[in-house]
Amino acid sequence: MNGFRRIADGTASVVGSPWTFTATLALTALWLMLGPVFRFSDTWQLTMNTAASQVTFLIAFLLQNTQNRDTRALQLKLDELIRSTAGARPQLMNLEELDENQLEALKKEFERLGERKGRISEPRK
């Protein structure tokens, strides 16, 4: 698994770079310029479509792995902050386990608290 992590991280880094975007743009331009040479044949189209589909398919899994790991790490950091902050509610440490209705109810609670705090801290005229 450690090897897969290194591959996923490396791929995310390379795929997200301006160089990769430029290279992909150049490859697409070259493919388009070769269209007349190959008389825009089915093979010409199939080659690019197959390559693009396979690369997209594989990169999606690698990037999802990287994103999942980053999200887990961020959650652990936030949990540590909640755990170590006086007055914080420990129940908030597992929000990712709540369903949509529970999250929406909590959001409304925070909005009410924010509005109430905003009214308290506004200077009186």
What is the pLDDT, as a whole number, of residue 121? 54
| Coil vs helix vs strand at 38 | coil
Per-domain residue ranges of the chain: 2-88, 98-125
pTM, full prediction: 0.61
- Tens of pLDDT along the chain (125 residues)? 788 888 888 888 898 899 999 999 999 999 999 999 999 999 989 998 999 999 999 889 888 988 999 999 999 999 999 889 988 888 888 888 888 999 999 999 989 988 887 765 555 55
- What Å distances lie between residue 105 and 47, 75, 90, 112, CA to CA? 51, 20, 17, 11
